[in-house]
Amino acid sequence: MTKAERYKNVLQWFEANAQSATTELHYTNPFQLLIAVMLSAQCTDKRVNMITPPLFEAYPTPEALASASPDEVYEFIKSCSYPNNKAKNLVKMAQKLVNDFGGEVPADIDSLLTIPGVGRKTANVMLVVAFDVPAMPVDTHVFRVSNRLGLTDNAKTPLEVEKELVKYIPKEFLSKAHHWLILHGRYVCTARNPKCEECGLREYCQYYGYKVYG
Q: Where in the chain are the domains?
A: 3-21+136-213, 30-130
167 is catalytic: no
Catalytic residue among 121, 153, 156, 163: 121
Give average pLDDT by consecutive 10-residue segment, the chain, 214 residues.
93 87 90 97 93 98 98 97 97 98 97 96 94 92 95 91 95 91 94 94 91 64
pLDDT of residue 213: 63
121 is catalytic: yes
pLDDT of residue 153: 85
The model carries a pTM of 0.84
CATH of the structural domain 3-21+136-213, one choice from 1.20.200.10, 3.30.1490.20, 1.10.3720.10, 1.10.1670.10: 1.10.1670.10
Catalytic residue among 86, 96, 139, 176: 139
Name which CATH class applies to 30-130: mainly alpha
Determine how many CB atoms are found less than 10 A away from the CB of residue 26: 15
pLDDT of residue 1: 86
pLDDT of residue 93: 98
